[in-house]
Amino acid sequence: MQLRLYDTLTREKRAFTPLDPNNVRMYVCGPTVYDFAHIGNARPVIVFDVLFRLLRHLYGDDHVTYVRNITDVDDKINERAARDFPGLPLNEAIRKVTEQTANQFHADVDALGCLRPTVEPRATDFVLPRADGKADMVTLIKQLIARGHAYEAGGEVLFDVQSMPDYGALSGRKLDEQLAGARVAVDAHKKNPADFVLWKLSSENEPGWESPWGRGRPGWHIECSAMSAAYLGNVFDIHGGGLDLIFPHHENEIAQSRCAHGTATMANYWMHNGFLEVEGAKMSKSLGNFVTIRELLETDRFGERDWSPQALRLTMLKTHYRQPIDWTVRALKESEETLQSFYNEVKNVSPGEHSPAIEAALCDDLNTPLATTELLRIWKSNRDPEVLVGSLKFLGIDLSANSTYISPVRRAIERAKSKFEDLEGKVKRSIADRAAARARKDFKESDRIRDELAAIGVVLKDGKDADGKPITTWEIAR
Ligand code: AMP
Ligand code: ZN
């Protein structure tokens, strides 16, 4: 089936033709690891996982390279490290923060049914020239300076936007408009206010690497130019991320990569997911509607959770990736009900072939809302459990992952069982206390314990066991 994708750069939906069908190459900007991922961060991860699965199906599992980086150098990370591990040397504290956060991120997105990318490079491994000769940030910056696209000023190396005639093509911003824009800080050392940082000097208590421009650290954008080139080459097929990354991040990645390599393009398809809002409002810590993936998947002491990860994923897929999503409890409940009705009928079925209608929907610029309605339509019309399970799997929804999908019925049984075990423990302890009270002839206490149990509906019966020893059994009062 012919895949068609919308390209933000050319603003059109086009047939997708990979540069090399034996190695389809995709780069997606990954998380900055300093805090739990929120449900908005889960959106690009799920969207590009659907695309990764589709590409693997179309071109073969071994013919797709998906790179998603981990940003482990960022001033927010430094602040978090100093706050959470004040006693440790900064580098150690930073490592703790980034490792913990990356592990949390993996656990969260694994639960959401996302395949791990082919490679997951960390920015800090690509700052300096590498033993394996893969692209690195310092070498890229040197190339930009050598080709007249970057200059050193005021303790920084800056990209010279005026050296690139079509700078701004992705976001559609013209340079003269940007001059007037208040968003770009006007710094006296810059040739042009839109010039952006490739390298900046670090103070002693900031992480830094020795470079030709002094001990410093990279600007935000250069890492993705280095890591994409390292694994995918100077020009590759698909570059993705959230809408907010179009400017400045992706615009600047394009500028750096094209100018350093002297190429006309960086990636052939630029894909951006829309934003997620919660109950109609922008998600923010101050509004108190900031929801992490972890919170949504949290279990109580009965192992009960409000939502299954599969329902989170289905909810995400019901909206087209380029549209905004309004994340609501109502939508989650609906998904949970749909999955429950499937689960009751297919829990032990192994996946068959997925439905061609669902593949066709995905091939049309990842039309996941159509794919999910097709899922329901097919199920209603043919009730073929193998096709249903195969189609769900094609969308990355695995109901057999029972450890994660807990049917509400099973949950209720487990909860009841767990409550019974709690009760049983308490009664046994009370019976032992009562036997001890009776042995020391404290009948007031033994009666008190009997009444206490009676009050919660437990009746004690004193008798004798096979050897004639006194024994107390219990039952729930009828
Ligand atoms: P960050 O860690 O903030 O750089 O974000 C990681 C990814 O999540 C980027 O691709 C962002 O565009 C994306 N993202 C952040 N917030 C949201 C949101 N509310 N809705 C959808 N995507 C988001
Ligand atoms: Zn990036």
User: What distance in angstroms lies between residue 67's CA and the mean position of ligand 1's atoms?
Assistant: 17
Strand, coil or helix: what is 253? helix
As a whole number, the mean pLDDT across the chain is 92
Overall number of domains in the chain: 3
User: What distance in angstroms lies between residue 143's CA and the mean position of ligand 1's atoms?
Assistant: 30
pLDDT in tens, 139-162: 999 999 999 999 999 999 999 999
Q: What are phi and psi of 67, to 5 degrees?
A: -110, 125
Is the shortest distance between the CB of 247 and ligand 1 below 6 Å? no
Whether residue 360 is found in the same domain as residue 417:
no
Confirm whether 155 is domain-assigned: no
Whether residue 51 is found in the same domain as residue 85:
yes
Provide the pairing of β-strand 236-242 with 24-28: parallel
Is the shortest distance between the CB of 283 and ligand 1 below 6 Å? yes
Q: What integer pLDDT is reported at residue 288 of this predicted model?
A: 78
Answer whether residue 80 shows pLDDT above 90. yes
∠ CA 470-474-476, nearest 5°, is 165
Whether residue 18 is found in the same domain as residue 141:
yes
Q: What integer pLDDT is reported at residue 180 of this predicted model?
A: 55
Residue 325 alpha carbon, nearest atom of ligand 1: 20
Answer whether residue 404 shows pLDDT above 60. no
Lowest mean pLDDT among 31-35, 325-329, 346-350: 346-350
Whether residue 338 is found in the same domain as residue 246:
no
Domain end (from 354, 378, 406): 406
Q: What integer pLDDT is reported at residue 232 of this predicted model?
A: 98
Whether residue 333 is found in the same domain as residue 267:
no
Residue 245 alpha carbon, nearest atom of ligand 1: 12
Q: Give me the CATH number covering residue 17.
A: 3.40.50.620
pLDDT bin (cut points 50, 70, 90) of residue 478 is: confident
Is the shortest distance between the CB of 319 and ligand 1 below 6 Å? no
At 382, list the tokens. Answer: 């043919």
Q: Which of 41, 72, 245 to mutate to test the pocket of ligand 1 (most atoms within 8 A of CB)?
A: 41
Task: Name every residue whose Cβ is closer than 8 Å to that of residue 68 and which is 6 or more positions away in sequence.
Answer: 27, 28, 29, 30, 45, 48, 117, 120
What residues pack around ion ligand 2 (CB closer than 5 A)? 29, 224
Whether residue 33 is found in the same domain as residue 98:
yes
pLDDT bin (cut points 50, 70, 90) of residue 174 is: confident
Residue closest by Cα to atom 12 of ligand 1: 242
Q: Taking a C-beta distance cutoff of 8 angstroms, is the pair 464, 458 a contact?
A: no
Give mean pLDDT, residues 240-266: 97
Confirm whether 186 is domain-assigned: no
Whether residue 52 is found in the same domain as residue 32:
yes
Residue closest by Cα to atom 6 of ligand 1: 31
Give mean pLDDT, residues 5-9: 98
Quick one: DSSP state of residue 215? Answer: S
Domain end (from 251, 276, 301): 276
Report which bound ligand comes closest to the CA of 242.
1
Answer whether residue 190 shows pLDDT above 90. yes
Is the shortest distance between the CB of 121 and ligand 1 below 6 Å? no
Whether residue 120 is found in the same domain as residue 241:
yes
Q: Give me the CATH number covering residue 351.
A: 1.20.120
Confirm whether 422 is domain-assigned: yes
Report which bound ligand comes closest to the CA of 272.
1
Confirm whether 343 is domain-assigned: yes
Task: Name every residue whose Cβ is closer than 8 Å to that of residue 123 and which is 6 or more positions away in sequence.
Answer: 69, 70, 71, 72, 73, 218, 223, 227
* Residue of higher predicted confidence among 263 and 287: 263
Whether residue 33 is found in the same domain as residue 131:
yes
Confirm whether 96 is domain-assigned: yes
∠ CA 105-39-362, nearest 5°, is 95
User: What distance in angstroms lies between residue 123's CA and the mean position of ligand 2's atoms?
Assistant: 10
Give mean pLDDT, residues 9-18: 98
Whether residue 426 is found in the same domain as residue 402:
no
Structural domain for 418, as ranges: 413-476
Whether residue 442 is found in the same domain as residue 340:
no
Q: Which of 35, 43, 114, 251 to mutate to test the pocket of ligand 1 (most atoms within 8 A of CB)?
A: 43
Domain end (from 406, 429, 459): 406
Report which bound ligand comes closest to the CA of 76.
1
User: What distance in angstroms lies between residue 183's CA and the mean position of ligand 1's atoms?
Assistant: 20
User: What distance in angstroms lies between residue 160's CA and the mean position of ligand 2's atoms?
Assistant: 19
Is the shortest distance between the CB of 240 and ligand 1 below 6 Å? no
Among positive and negative, which fits the CA dihedral 107, 112, 117, 120? negative
Report which bound ligand comes closest to the CA of 221.
2
Confirm whether 178 is domain-assigned: no
Name the pTM for this structure.
Answer: 0.85
Q: What integer pLDDT is reported at residue 476 of this predicted model?
A: 87
Answer whether residue 191 shows pLDDT above 50. yes
Is the shortest distance between the CB of 241 and ligand 1 below 6 Å? yes
Is the shortest distance between the CB of 43 and ligand 1 below 6 Å? yes
Q: Rounded to whole angstroms, how far apart are CA atoms 199 and 137?
A: 9
Provide the pairing of β-strand 4-7 with 12-15: antiparallel
Confirm whether 114 is domain-assigned: yes
Residue 274 alpha carbon, nearest atom of ligand 1: 21
Confirm whether 307 is domain-assigned: no
Whether residue 52 is found in the same domain as residue 109:
yes
User: What distance in angstroms lies between residue 434's CA and the mean position of ligand 2's atoms?
Assistant: 67
